[in-house]
Structure 1
């Protein structure tokens, strides 16, 4: 193997110092393959944030909780009334700030994407990028699962090397 490496290094005029740079370039190349174009990525984020249902639902829940905060507290207990009002006030303000932030973010993305009218939920662009977002989440989950499987196989191979397990039996049951 060392002889083959020496031959390749001489043919390509490489030194040992070239390999880290080549590895870095290869890593950057593969990273760039996995990323969507910037505009597509921005469209996916626009679709995810333009829904804003979880932020709006959180604000609605905070508003309802604030309205009903005093229903269960006795009128004579001023300390509990004050604490309930402060907690409700903080929750409503926090959730409203999140809602405003989401709306500003969506407006900013609309400017960047030159969107005059907000995309309709059943519209062509919306459905396309919602599908892209779902596919992206699926690929991320699949990558994480693959990483976990590789880690488990590595652990099993270490067990096999130490003589404490039957690695071939375990690996054959994992293969399809």
Structure 2
């Protein structure tokens, strides 16, 4: 039995594999996100405070970033598996599409977590302050929607 090579795709495969392993898919709120008009604090800073809590400001921790990604981890893994398959075929476009799909999946998981009304419930004083501004929402992490809408993903070269 002999093997006949009809097309040598080794360089394409190596290039695609290299592209896959040298990239990170990051999800969160970039500190460079547009500034808010209603506060001097950025969405990234607000997100950190809400995720970790601030005893000094009497803000309880309501973890949303890591739990949001964890809830869609298996879906992200499936997307990345498709990227690995594409890389083994020398399909760079398939690798890029898989990384983007994984990023979008994680992004949507985080936004869903923010929308899930993470406990503990808001203080009566917070709800009263919202009502005074005409906001009737009682979701713990969604007041204006600016934080949730600033969640995104990026694909970048590993450092």
- TM-score relative to the length of structure 1: 0.25
Q: Which has the higher strand share?
A: 2
Q: Which has the higher helix share?
A: 1
- TM-score relative to the length of structure 2: 0.27
> Which of the pair has the greater relative contact order for Cα pairs under 8 Å at 6+ separation?
2
Structure of higher CA gyration radius:
1
